[in-house]
Structure 1
Amino acid sequence: METKPIYNSDLHFEHQQWNKELAFWKDELKSFQNRLDELVIRWTDHQVLAKLDQFQNHFNIHKNKIDEFKENIHAHELNISKHFEANENAIDRVHFKQHSKFREQIETQRDIYNDLKKRFFKFLSKYM
């Protein structure tokens, strides 16, 4: 079985896609924050406020994760540019393993975020 090279341009493309997705998440979290702010004003029930606080904490964790991912993507992009300057178009196995691991982390975070959104929308439908 022939091993095909993994080109830096392919990784760069994937990074661009991830950055767009992360920007969308960050923007979406701003909308969710606005909803939280509205609900804090409307409700005085301690159970509802505790749930709002939980969502606030989850949103903050996710915002921090977005920033961490953006930093990692930027670092990997710098690595790719160094390879490009050295006329190396394909990534080596070590860096590809790192990229694959990072891809898994993005996919896991995507699942976590989608679950959070579902729970938040369910909460909003009950308390808005």
Structure 2
Amino acid sequence: MKTATSNTKAALLLLGASLDVLHQESREWLETIAFWKDETKFFANLLNKNKNKTSEYADMLKNLDKIHENLFDYLEDDIKQHERLLSHLIKGQKGLSDMDYREKHRSLGKRMDLFTNDFREFKKMVFGYVKKL
């Protein structure tokens, strides 16, 4: 019987550590988004400095910049909501599933990866445009 209790405690410790790792990853995502927001402001300022050279391309970049800014907010809100769910899960709130949390975490991870790639392409476009000025 003692072995079963030890195994249960070990499983709970591993589960807690795993949730802690997922929490840390979510915090890193939020920090990344905050950095991206700063980068977006920098790009907006950079593009605004060259307003007298306005072209369709520059306007497109400005619009894309606004879109990214709005997407940051949606992604950030989803991650914060995910963190609140973790808090309720850790507190043992009834009706919450560890598996649902983990699935949502995987989904958010995929969204972060996709957005990272999209934002990287956006930055390449801005740098390419500025080099031509």
* The two structures share one fold, judged by TM-score above 0.5: yes
- Unaligned stretches of 5+ in structure 1? none
Q: How many aligned residue pairs are there?
A: 118
Identity between Structure 1 and Structure 2 (%): 26
1:68 pairs with 2:74: yes
Asked which structure has the greater RCO (Cα within 8 Å, sep 6+), the reply is 1
1:38 pairs with 2:40: no
Deviations 1:28-57 (CA, angstroms, capped at 9, x unpaired): 11110111111113x1xxxx5211110011
Q: State the 1:7 CA deviation.
A: 2.3
Measure, in 1, the Cα distance between the counterparts of 2:45 and 2:108: 31
Deviations 1:11-37 (CA, angstroms, capped at 9, x unpaired): 110011111110110001111011111
Secondary structure class of the residue paired with 2:50: helix
- Unaligned stretches of 5+ in structure 2? 1-13
Say what the alpha-carbon RMSD is for the aligned residues. Answer: 2.1
Measure, in 1, the Cα distance between the counterparts of 2:114 and 2:64: 15
Measure, in 1, the Cα distance between the counterparts of 2:130 and 2:99: 46
Asked if the contact 2:85–2:101 (Cα under 8 Å) also holds between the matched residues in 1, the reply is no
Equivalent residue number for residue 9 of structure 2: none
1:80 pairs with 2:86: yes
Q: If you compute each CA radius of gyration, which structure gives the higher value, 1 or 2?
A: 2
- Name which of 100, 104, 109 aligns with 2:106: 100
Whichever residue aligns with residue 45 of structure 2, its letter is N
- How does the TM-score come out when normalised to structure 1? 0.84
- Paired residues for 1:18-57 under 5 Å: 18-41=29-52, 43=53, 48-57=54-63
Secondary structure class of the residue paired with 2:32: helix
